[in-house]
Structure 1
Amino acid sequence: MAEKVAISDVQLIDRLKSGDESALTAIYKKYWQQLFLSAYNVLKDKQACEDVIQELFIKLWNSRNSIQIAVSLKAYLYASIRYEVYRQIRAGVVTSDVFDVLTNSLQSPATHENLEYKELVSQVNSVVETLPEKCREVYKLSREEYLTHKQIASRLNISTKTVENHLTKALKQLRTSLGTLFLL
């Protein structure tokens, strides 16, 4: 059964290379939902995900003559969607909610045995350690002790706005420093 899908994808790629627009439509229909879910798991923004997928398929069509798919169409599309998601993050389109998703995914027991998880935790910790003292303290209280902004403000005797500012600064530094790494 897997060979039938691969043959079908190979045929779709050949048709796409020859300029067959119906091949692009077939690829879109076949993979759109999976690609959307993959992007949504990171971005948590329906419109941003739709934009990323639209951009991917425009690039696929525009580069159809020179496209080289070494592994499989599915692998190519997933790699492309990861790149487009990364581009959105680097462009600052994504909010700090992405890092809440990252933090939550790091709490999953299944990922604790994962080598990528260990590398990611190490990178996050090293970035956190470079933060200014108060900023680092606020970040750790928020992400490690799960305190609310109000609880952090009370504990550190600062305003909730100052807490928000420290978290914004910490998350911006993480976004800048981690870039592609957290997409693992």
Structure 2
Amino acid sequence: MESYPTYSEERLLQLIKADDYDAFEELYSRYFDLLYGYAYNVIRDKEVAKDIIQDIFTWFWENRQQWQLTSCKGYLLTAVRFKTASYFRSAKVQESFTQNLKNAPVLYPDESLELEVKELQQLIESLIQDLPDRCREIFQLSRFAYQSHKDIAKKLGISEKTVEAQITIALKKLRGSLGKYHYLLFLFL
């Protein structure tokens, strides 16, 4: 019988990638409390925090064949950080979120992971700058100014369908440019 609690994180990740659900459950039990605590400290809603952590772990399991990790604690914490941002963006409570995020600690297990996250953020930012002007403007209003499609359409004097189409175009270009790392886009946008 496997002794998962004694396995290193790297070994668990190898087993998960080989479709070992018991290894996944061990990883889940190791990190749930930490991730939940982080999400709850930002959101202050127990059910929403649990849902965010469940979404991250569900995504993590479903995409196990795509990721290339040897360590995941920092990755999972980063996922929580960006999923909480996404929650606030969709819930339109960005003012309190911004204040809470400023006060939330940024946790990275080591400097190399922090560097990787910064490099990925810079890559995404440069790809956004390469979008056509109008497409970039609409995309930034949606994803960074947290405006609804309706508000963007009204502000720019265009239809909501045009807003939706431009955001779809932007996301397709970003996914295409990120290649095999396109699945990480959900963390940042």
Question: Structure 1 length as normaliser, TM-score?
Answer: 0.49
Higher Cα Rg, which structure: 1
TM-score by length of 2: 0.48
